[in-house]
Amino acid sequence: MQKATIHFDFEVYESIADLNAADRSLLESARTITSKAYAPYSNFLVGATALLSNGEIVNGANQENASYPVSICAERTLLSSAAMLFTNIPIETMAIAYHNLNGISNKPVSPCGMCRQALHEYEERTTHPIRLILSGMEGRIFIIEKAGLLLPLSFGGDDLK
Ligand code: THU
């Protein structure tokens, strides 16, 4: 028997004021884009803004449904838009923020498992890491150098070969 360990490093910032101008602008946009969420069931409004490697910006916000499982997260609305508008163009950085109408919005957002899977596959298909800026409407910010780090031992296309 062997024991194995997986760990990853990430950056922690105390506030948006500590980010460089480019990252600050993406996060400000993600926070603004929370207003585009349709989240009447959870009242948890999520916004995402991505900078693509061609310089374009793509946004996403969660879109819920009375049939709850039909809902889609902000990250995956963004990925679908990016794939349609700018096919095969890698995403450099994605900022994600949320506005919790039921409570506080000051802890970095934690992308759900389905979005981690989708983000990682987007990295694989574009052979490019997606840098993540995770935040709420205020407070600390996490920056993770590639989305796949959030999905250790992931299942992917290679497993189907
Ligand atoms: N949600 C997102 O859009 N992204 C996340 O990273 C976390 C959760 C959405 C899904 C649902 O509409 C609401 O937030 C509450 O789970």
C-beta 123 within 6 A of ligand 1: no
C-beta 71 within 6 A of ligand 1: yes
Question: Ligand 1 atom closest to Cα of 73?
Answer: 3
Question: Ligand 1 atom closest to Cα of 76?
Answer: 3
Domain that holds residue 89: 11-106+115-150
Q: Is residue 133 part of a domain?
A: yes
- What pLDDT is attached to residue 8? 96
Going by C-beta distance under 8 Å and a sequence separation of 6 or more, which residues neighbour residue 110? Answer: 134
Pairing of strands 141-144, 11-13: antiparallel
Per-residue pLDDT of 54-97, as tens digits, reads: 999 999 999 999 999 999 999 999 999 999 999 999 999 999 99
How many angstroms separate the CA atoms of 5 and 40, rounded?
A: 41
Q: What is the CATH number of the domain that holds 122?
A: 3.40.140.10
Span from the CA of 47 to the centroid of ligand 1 (angstroms): 9
User: What is the rounded average pLDDT for all residues in the chain?
Assistant: 98
How many angstroms separate the CA atoms of 14 and 90, rounded?
A: 29
Catalytic residues: 75
**Half-sphere exposure in the Cβ direction for 82 (13 Å, CA):** 34
Q: Is residue 101 part of a domain?
A: yes
Q: What percent of the chain has pLDDT over 90?
A: 100
Pocket test for ligand 1, best of 33, 59, 62 (most atoms within 8 A of CB): 62
Q: Is residue 142 part of a domain?
A: yes
- What pLDDT is attached to residue 13? 98
- What pLDDT is attached to residue 18? 98
Nearest residue CA, atom 7 of ligand 1?
111
Q: Is residue 161 part of a domain?
A: no
Q: What are phi and psi of 90, to 5 degrees?
A: -65, 155
Per-residue pLDDT of 85-131, as tens digits, reads: 999 999 999 999 999 999 999 999 999 999 999 999 999 999 999 99
- What pLDDT is attached to residue 52? 98
Domain count, the chain: 1
C-beta 143 within 6 A of ligand 1: no
Neighbours of 4 (CB within 10 A): 5
Span from the CA of 4 to the centroid of ligand 1 (angstroms): 32
Span from the CA of 31 to the centroid of ligand 1 (angstroms): 14
Q: Is residue 66 part of a domain?
A: yes
Distances (CA, A) of 123 to 5, 19, 53, 129, 140: 23, 24, 13, 5, 25
pTM: 0.97
- What pLDDT is attached to residue 130? 98
- What pLDDT is attached to residue 160? 95
Span from the CA of 73 to the centroid of ligand 1 (angstroms): 5
Query: 74 burial class (0-12, 13-18, 19+ CB within 10 angstroms)?
Result: buried
Which amino acid makes up residue 17? A
